[in-house]
Every structure is written in C-alpha cells, then in structure tokens.
Amino acid sequence: MRSMVSVADPRAASQLVRGFHSLESNSWRWTKGNFTVTLRPPLNAGRDGAWLLLKFSIPEAVLSKVGPVRLTANVNGRPVEGETYSKSGDYTFRREAPAAAFHGDDPVTIEFALDKFLAAGVVEQRELGIIVSMIGLEAK
C-alpha cells in the first residue's frame, strides 16, 4: 500500500475503494460525487499529522451545469477544511490532517464529497464529479 497514488498506476487500483470511473488517457479518472481511497500513513503521522493532497481538474462542462462546487474530505472520519471552486481548471486541494486521525501504521480511509455533480444521464450515462490524477498523504 502506498501513501501517494497516481490514479493511472495499475498497482494502486485496489486503493481506489469506490466512486472512481475507469482510467482515461492513461493518466486520470472521473469521480462520482462521493469517492473513497485508502492510503498508507506517512512516517510519524500519528505524532505530527500529515498533509492530504488531491490533484484534480474541474471541467467547464461540469461548472456550467451545476455552478460552484464544494469539495470536502474526511480522514479516518475526521473532517478537514473544505473548499468551494467557482472556476474551471486544475487544482491541488492541500489540507492538514490531524495526528489524531492516524493510528500507527493502519491504512487510512479518506472520503471525499462534492456538494454538486452531474447526475447520470445529464451529459452521459455516468455520474460525473471531478477529474482526479493523484491522491496522497505527505509527511509534515
């Protein structure tokens, strides 16, 4: 299990627990409105906490239909500060995950949620949220 995963890496596919669509262009995946990943905690996360990172894009096709999108996340059930995005483009969501969210070397479950997304059938048959390329936990 890895702390940092590229959604294109076939070895990391088992860490993409739910809410991810198939790999596209050998580099990214659409998500659904809610998506979950498991990661290995970085060294000393139980003492120092860690940085939660999500590299993603919000296409104009989503924003033009649903308006500003709020992204929130929980690290082992502990919420981190969310953010609202009102422009299309590439982003890095970087938030501090508290030390209390980590339990030794136990895998970390990270749940992401979008307040708005495209329901299945609006643009295509799949539910579409954001386009993700990388998710990880980084040592502080």
pLDDT digits (tens, 9 = 90+) for 60-86: 989 999 999 999 999 999 999 999 999
Q: What pLDDT, on a 0 to 100 scale, did the predictor assign at position 123? A: 84
Strand partners, 116: none
CATH code (residue 50): 2.60.120.260
- What is the rounded CA–CA span in Å between residue 55 and residue 135? 6
Q: Which two tokens stand for residue 35?
A: 């998506």
For the chain, percent of residues with pLDDT exceeding 70: 100
pLDDT over 90 at 5, yes or no = yes
Q: What pLDDT, on a 0 to 100 scale, did the predictor assign at position 78? A: 97
Q: Which secondary structure element, helix H or strand E, spans residue 48, and what is its range?
A: helix 45-48
| Residue located via tokens 């809410």 | 19
Q: What pLDDT, on a 0 to 100 scale, did the predictor assign at position 116? A: 97
Q: What pLDDT, on a 0 to 100 scale, did the predictor assign at position 122? A: 85
If we measure between CA atoms, which residue out of 75, 90, 82, 77 comes closest to residue 39?
75
pLDDT over 90 at 56, yes or no = yes
pLDDT digits (tens, 9 = 90+) for 97-116: 999 999 999 999 999 999 99
Full domain range(s) for residue 99: 4-139
Side chain identity at 102, as an amino acid letter? Answer: F
pLDDT digits (tens, 9 = 90+) for 36-52: 999 999 999 999 999 99
Q: Which two tokens stand for residue 102?
A: 């980590």
Domain count, the chain: 1
pTM: 0.96
Q: Which two tokens stand for residue 123?
A: 């643009």
Band (29; pLDDT cuts 50, 70, 90): very high
pLDDT average, residue stretch 88-98: 98
- What is the rounded CA–CA span in Å between residue 7 and residue 57? 13
| Residue located via tokens 């299309």 | 88
